[in-house]
């Protein structure tokens, strides 16, 4: 590597997710074709080769900590986290090179490694939407943002699911070389330079647990069974013969939301499913119980930063008609 080379080290270990490694590496390699000078090395805690989640053996270029220090340290994730604790030796191996690097980043569940090393204490962070709640529970000093594609807090970066590592790598290239180079890389790889919306556009509907209170479960079951019904606050309160204030408090205490927002979320999830099935946006709005298409469009804009039509184009079938 030349004196001006930006050294990027990607931490690999047994069970590492291969795409967490290959995606960002490909972004930096492609950036070199457009004038960047990134030197990419794969480092394992001991310098030994590793076996990825797919069973593919990957040769390590060296051990942690690297000499000389790297400019960017990327910590790839593994589907072992958070099902199991991050091994102490893996967390220990990250601390010294992270302290010496100009910036540190994690891909997907690599955030658990950073957190185990104490590198996310007091910082904003994200990870895959499926395990964001576990990251927040296990490391309460970190402020987890479950809908973010990636988060920057000072010189620490964390990203969401595996392909979000590509988004993060593009952002780092833009930080180093400007938007034109990042745009050229995105075009060459046929990916979005900046993805619209957050992780919620990819997540499954209503991941939270059902309410503990039988009374509140009666209401949530009612809304879920018939999203098109009259679910105003007053009508819902009548079903339980309680005051609107009491029902609002139940929703707040158990679900951390309001009755109106819960109804909206149910209708939003149903509308997404209907759009995925090929219904028009107008049909989806009616069948999901929205008062109008416009009201549904406002919800999509607020939650996903895209319109229902744009959502349908992006996430409908990849099959092309006319193939014979």
d(CA 313, CA 25): 29
d(CA 39, CA 60): 14
d(CA 257, CA 22): 39
Six-digit token string for 127: 């990870």
225-236 burial by CB neighbour count: b if 16+ within 10 A, else e? eebeeebebeeb
> Any catalytic annotation for residue 108?
yes
Per annotation, catalytic residue among 43, 60, 75, 108 = 108
d(CA 111, CA 77): 7
With beta carbons less than 8 A apart as the criterion, state whether 236 and 219 touch. yes
C-alpha atoms less than 13 angstroms from C-alpha of 188 in its C-beta half-sphere: 17
With beta carbons less than 8 A apart as the criterion, state whether 233 and 243 touch. no
With beta carbons less than 8 A apart as the criterion, state whether 312 and 300 touch. no
d(CA 283, CA 20): 39
- Residues with active-site annotation: 108
């Amino acid at each position: 590597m030349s004196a001006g080379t930006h050294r990027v080290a990607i931490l690999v270990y047994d069970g590492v997710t291969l795409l967490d490694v290959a995606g960002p590496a490909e972004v930096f390699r492609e950036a070199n074709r457009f004038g960047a000078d990134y030197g990419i090395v794969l480092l394992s805690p001991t310098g030994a080769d590793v076996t990825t989640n797919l069973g593919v053996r990957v040769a390590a270029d060296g051990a942690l900590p690297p000499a000389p220090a790297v400019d960017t340290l990327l910590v790839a994730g593994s589907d072992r986290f958070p099902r199991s604790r991050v091994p102490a030796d893996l967390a220990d191996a990250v601390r010294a090179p992270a302290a010496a690097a100009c910036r540190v980043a994690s891909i997907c569940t690599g955030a658990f490694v950073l957190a185990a090393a104490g590198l996310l204490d007091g910082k904003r962070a994200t990870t895959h939407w499926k395990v964001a709640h576990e990251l927040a529970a296990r490391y309460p000093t970190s402020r987890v943002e479950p809908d973010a594609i990636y988060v920057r807090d000072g010189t620490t970066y964390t990203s969401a699911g595996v392909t979000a590592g590509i988004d993060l790598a593009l952002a780092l290239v833009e930080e180093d070389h400007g938007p034109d180079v990042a745009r050229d890389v995105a075009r060459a790889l046929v990916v979005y330079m900046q993805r619209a919306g957050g992780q919620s556009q990819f997540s499954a509907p209503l991941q939270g647990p059902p309410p503990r209170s039988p009374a509140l479960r009666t209401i949530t079951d009612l809304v879920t069974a018939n999203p098109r019904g009259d679910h105003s606050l007053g009508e819902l309160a009548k079903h339980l013969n309680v005051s609107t204030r009491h029902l609002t408090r139940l929703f707040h205490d158990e679900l951390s939301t309001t009755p109106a927002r819960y109804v909206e979320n149910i209708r939003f999830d149903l509308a997404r499913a209907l759009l995925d099935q090929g219904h028009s946006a107008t049909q989806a709005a009616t069948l999901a119980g929205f008062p109008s298409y416009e009201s549904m469009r406002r919800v999509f804009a607020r939650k996903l930063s895209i319109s229902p039509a744009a959502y349908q184009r992006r996430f409908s079938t990849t099959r092309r008609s006319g193939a014979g």
